[in-house]
Amino acid sequence: MDVLRLHGAGDIRLHTEAEPVPGPNEELVRMTAVGLCGSDLHWFEDGGIGADRVQEPFVLGHEMGGVIAGGDRDGERVVVEPANPCGDCDACMGGNNNLCQRVEFCGHYPTAGGLSTLIAWPRHLLLPVPDSITGDEVALLEPLGIALHAIDLSKFEVGMTAGVYGCGPIGLFLIRVLRAAGAGRIHATDPLPHRRKAASASGADEVRHTDTGGQPEGVDSWGPVDVAFDASGEDAAIETALRTVRTGGRVVIVGIPPGDRSSFPASLARERGLTIVLSRRMKAHHMHRAIELVDRGTVDLDELITARFPISEGPRAFDQLVVRAGLKIVINPSA
């Protein structure tokens, strides 16, 4: 079978390997769609995320779906829940399985991800996909779940105003969910014209240009928002959130920073009594919620996938990811 392995920063190669053998309580899944995201970009550009580094060639990919191959669920279309938490640590027992320190997470070293023709994964983490979610859209359910978790952390309520700073796929899902959930006014910023256009199409009321590393023009004169989200990982976006959220408001940091450090004007946050929350992945129920929201037509997945590549062209897909071309890039491992 075909496998894409990351050997180090900027070095991803196609391999031919033996098919995996599913263990007890596992199923074999033929991968049909794997989305590339910001964390994959960090692994590719930096050779790691935070203290976790590439130590030997491994497989990226955690936004994924496919078809079960064999067994009593043969032929069933599924989305893969990429997190396999231990289930018995303090975090898991407290309902925070997304914070489990013993989790096996697809595409985060050393656990292999989905950029291969076939994977073996626990059957209880393979969730059936309704016919309403077609083709490659299955790869968008995981980032939608990430957005749902971040909005839960913000304590958003109907009628609240929101700011979304960074309009990559996660930012666009934040906008779409906030709009569907009854947000008042939604402000958004991004340096890239095609992402600003997508933010408007996703439901943002006001979308402004911001230079990378800078602040949008007139940021201090904007009306305050009730909740604000950094969806870029850049210090400038965090500062925009601090400047635009109301006194006593909440800022949720969703983005992963380059170099594993974030900074912001402490006096600005302190004097306004802001609550700053960091969001990590999603909890177990968010994937189920994502499926339900799309199945009901509450959140639309249309037009977010702007490029598709066979696994043989994986290196070219990552080149496109680096330059932030388009919106969501999907690799089709079994095409």
| 248 exposure class (CB count in 10 Å sphere: 0-12, 13-18, 19+) | exposed
Q: Cα 134 to chain center, whole Å?
A: 19
Q: Residue 319: which pLDDT band, with cuts at 50, 70 and 90? A: very high
- For residue 219 the two structure tokens come to 């940021």
106 and 287 Cβ atoms separated by less than 8 Å: no
Name the segment(s) of the chain with CATH classification 3.90.180.10: 2-133+301-332
Name the segment(s) of the chain with CATH classification 3.40.50.720: 144-278
Going from the C-alpha of 288 to that of each of 146, 280, 295, 300, the distances in angstroms are 12, 17, 11, 16
Query: Which of 108, 111, 127 has its CA nearest to residue 65?
Result: 127
**pLDDT of amino acid 214:** 81
Q: 130-162: b or e for each residue (b if 16 or more CB lie within 10 Å)?
A: eeebeebbbbbbbbbbbbbbbbbbbebeeebbb
Q: Cα 133 to chain center, whole Å?
A: 18
Fold for the domain defined by 2-133+301-332: Quinone Oxidoreductase; Chain A, domain 1 (3.90.180)
> Rounded CA gap, 144 and 146, in Å?
5
When comparing pLDDT for 145 and 303, which is higher? 145
When comparing pLDDT for 73 and 257, which is higher? 73
**pLDDT of amino acid 146:** 96
> Rounded CA gap, 116 and 82, in Å?
14
Going from the C-alpha of 77 to that of each of 67, 73, 113, 170, 218, the distances in angstroms are 5, 9, 18, 24, 48
pLDDT tens track for 182-225:
999 999 999 999 999 999 999 999 999 988 778 888 888 887 99
> Rounded CA gap, 238 and 166, in Å?
10
Query: Which of 234, 231, 257 has its CA nearest to residue 170?
Result: 231
CATH 3.40.190.10 fits domain 144-278:
no
pLDDT tens track for 2-59:
999 999 988 999 999 999 999 999 999 999 999 999 889 988 888 888 778 888 999 9
> Rounded CA gap, 247 and 41, in Å?
34
pLDDT tens track for 254-290:
998 887 788 888 998 999 999 999 999 999 899 999 9
When comparing pLDDT for 212 and 129, which is higher? 129
115 and 13 Cβ atoms separated by less than 8 Å: no
Q: Residue 68: which pLDDT band, with cuts at 50, 70 and 90? A: very high
Share of the chain above pLDDT 70, in %: 100
| 122 exposure class (CB count in 10 Å sphere: 0-12, 13-18, 19+) | middle
Structure-derived torsion over alpha carbons of residues 58, 14, 317, 171, reported in degrees to the nearest 10: -20
Report whether pLDDT(168) > 90. yes
Structure-derived torsion over alpha carbons of residues 119, 120, 124, 126, reported in degrees to the nearest 10: 20
281 and 146 Cβ atoms separated by less than 8 Å: yes
**pLDDT of amino acid 215:** 84
In this prediction the pTM is: 0.93
